[in-house]
Amino acid sequence: MKILITGAKGFVGKNLTASLENIRDGKDRVHTIKGLERPSDLEIYAYDIDSTQEDLVRYCQDADFVFNLAGVNRPKDQEEFMKGNFGFASTLLDTLKKYENKAPVMLSSSIQASLEGRFAGSEYGRSKLAGEELFRRYSEETGAKVLIYRFPNLFGKWCRPNYNSAVATFSNNIANDLPIQVNDRGTELDLLYIDDLIEEMLLALNGQEHRDERGFCYCPVTFHVTLGEIVDLLYSFKESRKDLSVPDMSDGFTKRLYANYLSYLPTDGFSYKLKMNRDDRGSFTELLRTADRGQVSVNISKPGITKGQHWHHTKNEKFVVVSGRGLIQLRKIGRDQDGNPYPVVNYEVSGEEITVVEMIPGYTHNIINLSDTEDLVTVMWANEPFNPEHPDTFGEPV
């Protein structure tokens, strides 16, 4: 199968091309394309502004599917909208028609083509609407399948900041300590994440596109948020390196926005140091914390050292030794019916066999480094972030 992508070097084009290349090269074992005997049979025709007319002719002769992503977003002159969006679409369809290629053609239009509400009078919207009408006439004349997508605001990795995406601009500026300007925090946006769009485009390639009652194709996963909500989340991502917080990503949008935010970090800002609480026994370092899923820390015990020797009413923990050899001990608080201390439960653990040991509420516990020479490294999860005003921690030797 031969797939033509116009605007291949743009935001959507780069992401689509990368996904198709993963399928072609056998790196993506999840997605398949109908009609391919083997992934390597997939050919990608990447057309962009630096391509030649001869390239376009050759691609239009052979293409089995066309993604028309080419367009003008920020021209110097408003008239360039019609020339760049409608004009190229005409050239593309005329070339396909000339060589009697009736391959399915996808058009990336915009919600601005509705010319409704704040989009009324938009020259960009007019050019996109003209393109839609052109594609419909082309389908009627040739019988070729046409898929028209009216994209909302797009965001995700590789989106160009200071261009036509507020999310990209805000993400870039906040990640790089640059100022932002928000005129109205209440401005509402309909957002579509790039990976969700690419997933829909791969469905379209297999003839499984989503269509509404008007015949427009659409991606079923979109988000309706305000500029204020976006900005607050982006600043919380930046602050998370200091407070070690991990946001609640269960709404789907936060997960996507966080991945988007990370893609704008400067290359010298991918890492950050953590506070190591050191003493003569070793160290304890908190890695991350959440409001409702607890915190994760790394504990290092020097040779022969015992740590812990305390218990909790409600707090519970999971200990995972990842390096070294240790002994974890637990004993139920109080005495049995005969007045004797409860027996000690022992677990020998090591980094050679990763094992989780639960710290049970009502049991005092410790962890002992059994080595005379090696540090004992333990990853610890607690079900709640440590609160010094309510530590729920009570000293008692095992």
> How crowded is residue 23: how many other Cβ atoms within 10 Å of its Cβ?
21
Annotation: CATH topology of 152-194+222-272: Rossmann fold (3.40.50)
Please say whether the beta carbons of 11 and 160 come within 8 A: yes
Cα 334 from Cα 337, distance rounded (Å): 10
Binning the chain into helix, strand and coil, the percentages to the nearest 5 are 30, 30, 40
Write down the pLDDT at residue 377.
Answer: 98
Please say whether the beta carbons of 270 and 325 come within 8 A: no
Annotation: CATH topology of 276-395: Jelly Rolls (2.60.120)
Cα 125 from Cα 115, distance rounded (Å): 6
If DSSP codes are grouped into helix, strand and coil, which group holds residue 242?
helix
- Domain positions in the chain are 2-151, 152-194+222-272, 276-395
Write down the pLDDT at residue 166.
Answer: 94
Write down the pLDDT at residue 131.
Answer: 86
Write down the pLDDT at residue 84.
Answer: 47
> Identity (one letter) of the amino acid at 324?
G
Give CATH for domain 2-151. Answer: 3.40.50.720
Q: Measured between alpha carbons, how far is residue 116 from residues 81, 146, 217, 225 in Å?
A: 18, 24, 19, 19
pLDDT tens for the chain, 398 residues long, are 999 999 999 999 999 999 999 999 999 999 999 988 899 999 999 999 999 999 999 999 999 999 999 864 444 544 544 454 567 888 999 999 999 999 999 999 988 887 776 766 677 778 788 889 999 999 999 999 999 999 999 999 999 999 889 999 999 999 999 999 999 999 999 999 999 999 999 999 999 999 999 999 999 999 999 999 999 999 999 999 999 999 999 999 999 999 999 999 999 999 999 999 999 999 999 999 998 999 999 999 999 999 999 999 999 999 999 999 999 999 999 999 999 999 999 999 999 999 999 999 999 999 999 999 999 999 999 999 999 999 999 999 99
Cα 42 from Cα 55, distance rounded (Å): 18
Write down the pLDDT at residue 82.
Answer: 47
Helix residue spans in 206-324 (DSSP H): 227-243, 253-262
Enclosing H/E stretch for 141: helix 123-142
Hey, which residues are catalytic here?
Answer: 124
Environment class of 360 (CB within 10 Å of its CB; exposed 0-12, middle 13-18, buried 19+) = middle
| 140 CA to centre of own chain | 39
Strands (E), 210-334: 210-211, 217-218, 223-226, 276-279, 282-289, 295-301, 306-311, 317-323, 325-332
Write down the pLDDT at residue 164.
Answer: 82
